[in-house]
Amino acid sequence: MNEITSRFLPPEDAQRRELHNEVHARPPARVRLPALIVYVALLNEGVTREQEWAHLRLLPGHADLGLDPLQGNFLRLRCDHFTVKWERHTEFTRYSIVQNLPANAQWGADLPDLAPHVAVGTDWLRALPGQTMAAIALGMLSADIESPHLIAKAQSWLGEGTVLASRMGNTAEGLSHSCILTHFRIGADGFERMLVVAPEDTSEARAGRISQRLLELETYRLMALRGLPVAKNLSAMLSAAEAQLADITGLLERKGETDQALLDLLVSLAARIERATAEHGFRFSATRAYDTLVGQRLMELRERPISGTQTLGEFMQRRLSPAMATVNATEKRLASLAERVSRSSALLRTRVDIATEAQNQVLLEKLTRGQELQLRLQVTVEGLSMAAISYYVVSLLLYAFKGLQAYGLPFNPEMAVALLLPVVLWGVWRSRQKMQEKLHRSEP
């Protein structure tokens, strides 16, 4: 329904405000350093908003939370000394808890224990509805990003694993504004650790944007990789289907099977391909979309290398790109196989059409021969019918002449009939000719 919202404008479309405000739908949090962000992304298949709403109401001070705020896809709840951000997407829901950095997790700490210090409590965190897809403990610390001990201290904070590190962004003086360090490993507590080191004067808004980009980057990377197991599982089926299609094409070429048998094989194969396309088409499309988002988030980081370490972009290029290439190749292979099955079906259909035309030609020839025989038989019957009609006419004349003889007229009936016989034959023949002419004139 159109509504009048301004005395200066015509009635606006019902979706104008919603579409306009989409740009503000997921604003980044404002993070004051030092901070800990506990982030969990869960697959929400089968999870309703009502279930998520009921769980959010368990947060302290939010027992009276209404369901209406969750009709959108973003909600930030403020609690004592921490905030919880809820975001619902098509396939997953993510929760971000922004809290103060625990005392045991300061810069230089040796693999600090983080999970027990989550502000929402471990029970609330463990009871989140859905299946965990990504779980990240992001520490954001204030320290000297030019320190020669940066990588060593980060290694101690993150734990075992090769550290990947990048300087992020460019300031007005051409310097980086922060560093990101991680090893992309899941720890014993189930969380993946990331570390952002930034100067003390880093603004809350900038810290929030950095955290949002990093968390989205890792989430979209994992969601993009969900297409890889699908591609690997399809590989065996596609190989078998390609071999079967080659066999069917060979039979089609050699005419080794009946058309019905070949049609049954092609229909069965086409059904398998269409089923695979229907089941996995969305996953392949989603993988492409997530991969594009990963590339965008990497560009937004504006990475600069740190000597002796790989950047996140280099790591993604070497590890994620082959997986995405496998998924794309499988998708193209599936589409190509469906197209080849369609072409083989067209060839079989052409062969069936040609065979049908040949059968129709033979049938028409048989019908033509049958009509010729019928015409000859009709001519023969007509000849016999002329003789029969002439015989009856002559018999009637004979009876008439015998009656006249008996009446007293002096002539021989047999001789009179003999003399009239040519006239009778000509009259019957002429009557038949006129009847045929009349029938021909009545035809369209």
Strands laid side by side in the 131-142 sheet: 74-79, 82-88, 92-100, 35-43, 131-142, 192-198, 178-186, 164-168, 303-305
Task: Report d(CA 265, CA 244) in Å as an integer.
Answer: 9
pLDDT of 4 strictly over 60: no
Mean pLDDT over the full length of the chain? 85
pTM for this predicted structure? 0.76
Task: Show contacts of 357-364: CB within 8 Å, 24+ apart.
Answer: none
Task: Report d(CA 216, CA 28) in Å as an integer.
Answer: 11
Whose tokens are 């997530």? That residue is: 290
Q: Radius of gyration over alpha carbons of the chain, in Å?
A: 46
Q: Dihedrals φ, ψ of 65, to 5°?
A: -60, 130
pLDDT tens-place string over residues 198-207: 988 888 899 9
Q: What angle do CA 423, 425, 430 make, to 5 degrees?
A: 90
pLDDT tens-place string over residues 231-245: 999 989 988 888 888
DSSP 3: B
For the chain, which residues make up each domain, given as ranges? 30-202, 227-360, 363-429
pLDDT tens-place string over residues 251-294: 777 776 677 777 788 888 888 888 888 889 899 999 999 999 99
Write down the pLDDT at residue 50.
93
Classified as helix, coil or strand, 299 is: helix
pLDDT of 48 strictly over 50: yes
Write down the pLDDT at residue 363.
84
Q: Dihedrals φ, ψ of 66, to 5°?
A: -85, 165
pLDDT tens-place string over residues 103-114: 999 988 899 999
pLDDT tens-place string over residues 140-194: 998 888 888 889 999 999 988 889 999 987 655 557 788 999 999 999 999 999 9
Write down the pLDDT at residue 2.
46
Write down the pLDDT at residue 340.
86
Write down the pLDDT at residue 42.
95
| 276 Cβ contact list (under 8 Å, min separation 6) | 234, 237, 334
Size of the chain, expressed as the number of residues it contains: 444
pLDDT tens-place string over residues 129-153: 999 999 999 999 988 888 888 899 9
pLDDT of 308 strictly over 90: no
pLDDT of 354 strictly over 80: no
Q: Dihedrals φ, ψ of 10, to 5°?
A: -65, 170
Write down the pLDDT at residue 194.
94
- Please tell me the number of Cα atoms within 13 Å of 39 on its side-chain side: 26
pLDDT of 215 strictly over 80: yes
